[in-house]
Structure formats: structure tokens, C-alpha cells
Structure 1
Amino acid sequence: MSKNAGLNAIEIKYLRLSVGLTPAQVAELSKATEEDVLAWEAGEKPVSGLAEKKLLEIDEIIEMQVLNTCDGIEELFKKEPKRRLSFVVYPTQAIYTQYNPEFLSSLPLTELYNTAAWRIKKECKLVLEVEVTLVPLDVEGYKAYREKEGFKESRESRAKWAATQL
């Protein structure tokens, strides 16, 4: 048997698209140029092993987050049946970075977090028959809600705010 031949041009392109990254972001992650990424995707150059490794790692991290989150939702709904949820997503990298320092090592880009949220939404609908709405964080609206309710900044406070947006 031969070794794994690696990803071909179409596979690398669709893997990039499936995690929601631009060619420039892949270039930055793989220490290459955007032109290199476009050449890999066009089949003009062999795909960088580092790029392939990074994209596959990111995809695996997102999938693990989806599985863990969906398992948690399933457990929660055994105790407290609901059929609607909301998840906060982040419109810019600055807002994502400010509110999610705990994810920066595993999902360093807002696009990756938002891709995970999108996949969770799809999985919840298909497997758990739960409707998930992705709610973009409105910083000023969220701050006003927190002040009104007397909440401190936390993931739980953002989730409660997002639920009010449905």
C-alpha cells in the first residue's frame, strides 16, 4: 500500500471553503502566499503539507466542537425540553477576540467559530430536531441588556441576550 497521497487541488479548495477561510487566511496559516494557495487550488503546484495539515486540524477541531456542543444540548434537553435555541456569532475579528479569549488557541479566527456555529445549527436541526438561530452580537445592545439585568460579562449572559433576540 502506498502512503496517503494527500489532498488534491479540488479537495484543498473545498476543505478551505468548508471551514470558511479565504485564500489569504490559508496563506497566513500555512506561511505561504495567497498566490501559492490559488496555485494549489488550481492544480498548478503541489499542495503544501503544512497547509493540508493546518486545514485538516481546523476541520477536526470544528467537528469536535460540534459533537461536544450537540451532546451537551441533547443532555440539557433531556432535563428541560426545548425546541429553539440561539447562538451568538461575531461580526468582526475584534469583537470575537474581545469576547472569546478561551477559543483563540483552538479557533483563532471568527470565521472558524462562526463555521462551527453554522455546523452546530445544521446538526441540531437534523439530529436533535432543534431550531437554532445564529444571532450576530450587537455590542451596544448586549451591554444595555447586561446593565438592565445586572449581569456580568459571561458566555451565559451572551446566550441569555441572544435568546431575547429571537
Structure 2
Amino acid sequence: MAKTTGLNAIEMQYLRLSLGLTTEQVATITTTSNEDVLAWEAGEKDAPVPVQKKLLDIDDIIEMQVLNTTDGIEDLFKKEPKRRLAFVVYPTQALYTQYNPEFLSSLPLTELYNTSAWRIKKECKLVLEVDVTLVALDAEAYKAYRAENGLSENRESRAKWAATQL
């Protein structure tokens, strides 16, 4: 039987950091304790394979979002060249949950969505030479904008609102 080596302590810590999560948040999404997460990162015990897999799967989901979004932006800019974009990010878990129920199964925390947006911003700058500004959603200003412009609640309306914030 082959031995699975998995992630070592430093790799677990850097995976968590690359996701922009605290040890408490990792404990929450992996249904473990904060003490377990600290022990994995200190090398005192190995992280269970299902925990490693869950965190690596989340990282893969974020990377797929980055690729899909940057490909979409590249296609869009072939038709209508722009060099500035705004992406909405969510300052609280409550706002993220309210406006992104479709992502809760794959990216359960606002920090993960915002990490995705940050990676998209960096990729757009490096690969597409497009400046992306991350705009924190101000729910009241967004609702007022929608009312003034007769827009329904959807991702496109949030994107239009974010563009007005540049």
C-alpha cells in the first residue's frame, strides 16, 4: 500500500494564508477545532486527508473562477476595449450571504470570495494589463442606485453600481 504524503505543516499554513483565512475560519469550514489547525501548522500532527482535500478543492475553485473570469474579460475586451474595471467585494459575511447564495456551497466565506476577486485583480493586471478596483459593497448606496435606475437585483446591477464608484 502506497503512503500518501499530503501537505506538511508549512504547506498547510501557506495554503490557509493564500486563501486569506484565519485558523478559526479554517476550523469552521473543516468542522475541526482551532487547536487542531494550530497543531497541523506547528507540525504537531498531520492534517487529515479530507481536510487537506477540502482546502485544496476551495483553492482549485478560486483558480477556476480566476481563469473563467479573466477569459471572459479578455473576450469582452476584444469587442470593446477598456482598461479599467470594478469588482464588488463584500465587507461582511451577512452581505456576502445575502447577495451570493449561489456561491455558498463552493465558497462558504466572504473572505474566500474576496480572495478570488483579489486574484482576479492581480491576473487582470499582469496578463491583460487591465486595472481592476475592488469596491466594497455599500448596501444602502447600491439599493438607492438600483431604485434611481430601475434595476433589479442581480450580479450585473452590482457590477454597474461598482463601475460608478471608480
Partner deviation per Cα, 1:52-82 (whole Å, 9 max, x = no partner):
1111000000000000000000000000000
Aligned AA (2:10): I
Distance in 1, matches of 2:94 and 2:122, equals: 26
> Does the CA-based 8 Å contact 1:26-1:51 persist in structure 2?
no
Paired residue secondary structure (1:105): coil
| Secondary structure at the counterpart of residue 86 of structure 2 | strand
Q: CA deviation at 1:31?
A: 2.2
Identify the residue that residue 144 of structure 1 maps to in structure 2.
144
**TM-fit CA distance, 1:162:** 0.2
Aligned match of 2:84: 84
Aligned to 1:119: 119
In structure 1, the residue matched to 2:26 is: 26
Alignment check: 8 A CA contact 2:29 2:108 kept: no
Aligned partner of 1:41 in structure 2 is 41
Instruction: Give the CA deviation at 1:20.
Output: 1.2
What is the Cα-based RMSD across aligned positions, in Å? 1.2
> Could you list the runs of 5+ residues in structure 2 that have no partner in the other structure?
none
Measured in 2, the distance between the counterparts of 1:50 and 1:23 equals 17
Give the aligned residue type for 2:57.
E
| 2:57 aligned with 1:71 | no
- Residue aligned with 1:91, SS: coil
Asked if 2 retains the 8 angstrom alpha-carbon contact of 1:90 and 1:96, the reply is yes
* Per-residue CA distance 1:88-147 (angstroms, 9 max, x = gap): 000001100100111111111111100000000000000000000000000011011111
Q: How many residues align?
A: 166
